[in-house]
């Protein structure tokens, strides 16, 4: 599966924020997609693009993510969105997080 390949790449490269791209330029975004369904065959090349982590914060909570990554990590006061565990499955391919003070 794509997710297994991504995990192997993350461990091998010691980088957490990776985007896998086929030699044809297709982004491999669905971790549950089988490699063959993604169009990959034995011997194909895949490029791992390392993304830069970004942080959004207010006085009570923090969010860490990478644009186009697989999720958002949050911590801090749950009342101020420091706990995103109930919506974690919706936090895929996030491009931006905005902190507010209100």
Query: How far apart (Å, rounded) are the C-alpha atoms in residues 6 and 49?
Result: 11
CB 46 within 8 A of CB 81: no
- Indicate the average pLDDT of the chain: 84
More confident residue, 8 or 54: 8
Dump pLDDT digits (tens) for 54-94. Answer: 888 888 888 887 765 667 888 988 888 788 888 888 887 77
Query: How far apart (Å, rounded) are the C-alpha atoms in residues 38 and 30?
Result: 9
- Residue 50, pLDDT above cutoff 60: yes
In this prediction the pTM is 0.55
Query: How far apart (Å, rounded) are the C-alpha atoms in residues 76 and 16?
Result: 21
CB 26 within 8 A of CB 38: yes
């Amino acid at each position: 599966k794509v997710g297994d390949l991504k995990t192997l790449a993350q461990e091998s490269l010691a980088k957490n924020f990776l985007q896998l791209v086929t030699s044809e330029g297709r982004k491999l975004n669905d971790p549950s997609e089988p490699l063959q369904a993604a169009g990959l065959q034995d011997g194909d090349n895949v490029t791992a693009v390392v993304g830069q982590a970004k942080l959004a914060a207010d006085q009570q909570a923090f969010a860490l993510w990478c644009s186009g990554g697989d999720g958002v990590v949050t911590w801090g006061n749950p009342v101020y969105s420091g706990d995103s565990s109930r919506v974690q499955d919706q936090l895929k391919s996030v491009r931006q997080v905005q902190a507010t003070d209100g």
